[in-house]
Amino acid sequence: MSRKVLVVGEIKDGHLRNVTFEALTAGRRMADGGPLIAALFGSDAESYAEELSKYGAEQLYAISGAGANPTNEYCTEALSQLIQEIHPDAVLMGHTSSGRDIAPRLAERMGVGLISDCIGLEVAGEDVFFTRAVYSGKAFQVKTFRSGTICATLRPNNVDVSEAPAQTAAAVFYPDVKDLKVLVKDIVRKTSSGVDLSEAKIIVAGGRGVKSAEGFEPLRELADVLGAAVGASRAACDSGFCNYALQIGQTGKVVTPDLYIACGISGAIQHLAGMSNSKVIVAINKDREAPIFKIADYSIVGDLFEVVPMLTEAFKQTLI
Ligand code: FAD
């Protein structure tokens, strides 16, 4: 059954975020031959038409009116005007900090349901199955959608991206948005790493066992060699070793990298809630009874200050 699907893409630091391609890949599945349309915010949104076309977007609505950093309030208003014009059957976007904010507002305006934080989207006949992780990743819930209109957000790193070139025509959309209460003048990042934690393929995370802010240095060196992002447990953040922007877990970021290296992290349930769906987990802990070893694919019992530099050296020799 073909559907009209609108994918809301995201630009970060001058690049389309990978979750945009994941949403287009999932959207193509859902469109099932129907029109796949992209919307993108930013002063140069039009220039991404060709890149989006490689993943099946047949049309791009470039919304540039609010400049490089539109507020979520602006995006919600602009998207609801676009939706009234094109009437999609589904709206998909990344479960990113902005997607999490925009999608519920949009669903409410559209008067439709929202399926948030999906880790899978499959189509069988007329049905679309959205999978979500529940109970901190201990169980999975499958929601079925057949007809009407739906809004959904997709957790980054959960859809294998595939290309399907289409001819994309870029149209500039001019929403009429008034009375904005907030204007973003500049964005100052708290983390120095270039790799976005929520989309990273490899994460090196440190816990209280790292012992100090300086203790994170060997982790950063390992991350640099691997092209990884650095993450942390809440205890590490609470202790002032690193910024809260790095926190992974129930009250931090939920991540799904290909490789998660946990250093000096005990494996509390609240931490596991943010990383237990990682594809491969390596845990380094000097306590052989640490709960993190129950979910680790590779367990290294040892002092992280000895093990991490050894790993860095070994990877340097094989990767550089
Ligand atoms: P610890 O539990 O203290 O573990 C430190 C580990 O380091 C130990 O296992 C120790 O053996 C090991 N270690 C020490 N020195 C070394 C060394 N030299 N080499 C190797 N290993 C070493 N936590 C989160 O992480 N994320 C969340 O989002 C989160 N949300 C929460 C929400 C609520 C409502 C509550 C109540 C708690 C939350 N927590 C969260 C906190 C959570 O319960 C744990 O307290 C926290 O995850 C523990 O962090 P940790 O593993 O770094 O520290």
Query: What ipTM does the predicted assembly reach?
Result: 0.99
Residue 42 CA from chain centroid, whole number: 19
Q: What confidence score (pLDDT) does residue 172 get?
A: 85
Q: Closest by alpha carbon to 243, among 312, 193, 308, 307?
A: 193
In sequence order, the 6+-apart residues with CB closer than 8 A to the CB of 84 are: none
Please tell me if the CB atom of residue 208 comes closer than 6 angstroms to any atom of ligand 1: yes
pLDDT of res. 191: 62
> Do residues 196 and 252 make contact, with C-beta atoms less than 8 angstroms apart?
no
* Residue 53 Cα distances to 18, 27, 30, 99, angstroms: 14, 13, 17, 21
Task: State yes or no: 266 annotated in a binding site.
Answer: yes
* Helices 217-226, 304-319: inter-axial angle, 10-degree rounding: 20
pLDDT of residue 25: 97
The rounded Å distance from CA 315 to ligand 1 centre is 27
Q: What is the pLDDT of residue 67?
A: 82
Q: How far apart are CA 320 and CA 316, in angstroms?
A: 5
d(CA 94, CA 40): 12
Report whether residue 308 contacts ligand 1, using a CB cutoff of 6 Å: no
Distance CA 207, CA 261 (A): 11
Average pLDDT, consecutive stretches of 10 residues, N- to C-terminus, the chain (320 residues): 96 93 97 96 93 95 89 95 96 96 97 96 96 88 96 96 86 84 81 76 98 97 96 98 95 95 97 95 98 98 98 90
Owner of token pair 């809440």: 234
User: Given this model, what pLDDT does residue 320 score?
Assistant: 66
| Model pLDDT, residue 5 | 98
CA distance 243 to 129: 37
Asked if residue 276 has its Cβ within 6 Å of ligand 1, the reply is no
Contacts of 47 (CB under 8 A, 6+ apart): none
Mutational pocket test of ligand 1: of 266, 276, 306, 307, the residue with most ligand atoms within 8 Å of the beta carbon = 266
The pLDDT value recorded for residue 194 is 66
CA 139 – ligand 1 centroid, Å: 23
Alpha carbon nearest to ligand 1 atom 9, residue: 266
pTM of the model: 0.86
Cα–Cα separations (whole angstroms), residue 202 to 144, 158, 222, 251, 276? 32, 14, 11, 21, 14
Classify burial at 30, counting beta carbons within 10 Å of its beta carbon; exposed 0-12, middle 13-18, buried 19 or more.
buried
pLDDT value of position 120: 95
Q: What is the pLDDT of residue 65?
A: 84
pLDDT at residue 192 in the model? 56
